[in-house]
């Protein structure tokens, strides 16, 4: 049976962030994920995880100035030093939180930089991050994001992302497969998951259209979950969706999968 992590950035937004850990545990989740832990002391987050018996499934590396529209800095040639520092910050948190997987957001490609330079920068940054993460024993992943939600984001498809990872080192960086993003960009979800499961270290979900709860859109999630199970995937599936009303009102999809 798949194991699910509640995305605390997206779920239970009606209450304070630190109170969402308890809600996730009450709902039956065994793990949590969220975009960034860095606004909170790592010891306080670790205490919440331990108190509620939760695993920190994933969080992202720092992604630049999020409020100003930045969605990662790994593709920015003039921010390499900042990126390297961000790797250290992420690993400091990950070690204390016992984070299972770290995600690198590639970022929005700068328009005034040659394509070759952008790619070279991204490959170099990922090699650096992978080497540091490997020392800590923490898998590193990157994800592809649809062009509708984040126009200009550098990685958009499975093929593009896996080609990048081939150049970085296929044993060093893995794919975070977001079902919602990939349904928008390419569809063919189950065959893609089956063909590439060995390279996938984390999965995320939401339904389409609208990024809502499973069961509110066009994706046949019971079929998807069974296919993931049958393919032998043992990692986490992050519930990264926008509740239609309150989180509790839309959590019924999860009932059959509580451990």
- Return the CATH number of the domain spanning residue range 3-254: 3.20.20.150
User: Which of 51, 43, 144, 131 has the alpha carbon at shortest distance from 95?
Assistant: 43
The pLDDT confidence band at residue 259, using thresholds 50, 70 and 90, is: low
pLDDT given at position 172: 85
Tens digit of each residue's pLDDT (9 = 90 or more) over 101-126: 999 999 999 999 999 999 999 999 99
Where is pLDDT greater, at 259 or 74?
74
CA distance 71 to 88: 18
- Whole-number Cα distances in Å, 170 to 126, 173, 200: 11, 6, 11
143 catalytic residue (yes or no) = yes
Rg (C-alpha) for the chain, rounded Å, is 17
DSSP code at position 75: T
DSSP code at position 141: E
Ramachandran quadrant class, 8 (left: phi over 0; alpha: psi -120 to 50; beta: rest)? alpha
The pLDDT confidence band at residue 248, using thresholds 50, 70 and 90, is: very high
Tens digit of each residue's pLDDT (9 = 90 or more) over 191-212: 999 999 999 999 999 999 999 9
Compute φ and ψ for 176, nearest 5 degrees: -95, 115
Mean pLDDT calculated for residue range 25-35? 98
Percent of the chain with pLDDT over 70: 100
Q: Please tell me the pTM assigned to this model.
A: 0.97
pLDDT given at position 67: 92
Average pLDDT of the chain is 97
Cis peptide before 209 (omega within 30 of 0): yes
pLDDT given at position 2: 83
Domain assignments of the chain as residue spans, ordered by start: 3-254
240 catalytic residue (yes or no) = yes
The 3-state DSSP class for residue 184 equals helix
pLDDT given at position 1: 77
pLDDT given at position 258: 85
Q: At which residue do the structure tokens 């009102």 appear?
A: 249
Structure tokens at 135: 């020392």
Q: Which helix (H) or strand (E) holds 237?
A: strand 236-239
Annotated catalytic residue within 143, 186, 213, 218:
143
Residue 178 has pLDDT above 80, yes or no: yes
């Amino acid at each position: 049976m798949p194991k699910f992590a509640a995305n605390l950035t997206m779920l239970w937004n009606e209450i304070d962030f630190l109170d969402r850990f308890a809600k996730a545990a009450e709902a039956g989740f065994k793990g949590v994920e969220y975009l960034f832990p860095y606004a909170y002391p790592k010891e306080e987050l670790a205490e919440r995880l331990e108190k509620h018996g939760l695993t920190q499934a994933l969080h992202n590396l720092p992604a630049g100035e999020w409020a100003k529209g930045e969605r990662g800095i790994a593709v920015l040639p003039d921010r390499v030093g900042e990126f390297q520092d961000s790797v250290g910050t992420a690993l400091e948190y990950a070690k204390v939180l016992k984070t299972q997987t770290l995600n690198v957001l590639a970022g929005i490609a700068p328009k005034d930089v040659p394509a070759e330079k952008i790619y070279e920068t991204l490959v170099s940054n990922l090699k650096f991050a992978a080497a540091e993460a490997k020392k800590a024993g923490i898998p590193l992943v990157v994800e592809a994001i649809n062009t509708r939600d984040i126009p200009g984001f550098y990685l958009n498809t499975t093929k593009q992302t896996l080609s990048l990872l081939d150049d970085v080192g296929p044993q060093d960086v893995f794919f975070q497969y977001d079902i919602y993003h990939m349904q928008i960009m390419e569809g063919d979800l189950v065959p893609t998951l089956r063909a590439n499961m060995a390279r996938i270290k984390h999965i995320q979900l939401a339904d389409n259209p609208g990024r809502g709860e499973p069961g509110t859109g066009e994706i046949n999630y019971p079929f998807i979950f069974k296919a993931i199970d049958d393919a032998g995937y043992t990692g986490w599936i992050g519930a990264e969706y926008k509740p239609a009303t309150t989180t509790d009102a839309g959590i019924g999809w999860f009932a059959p999968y509580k451990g």
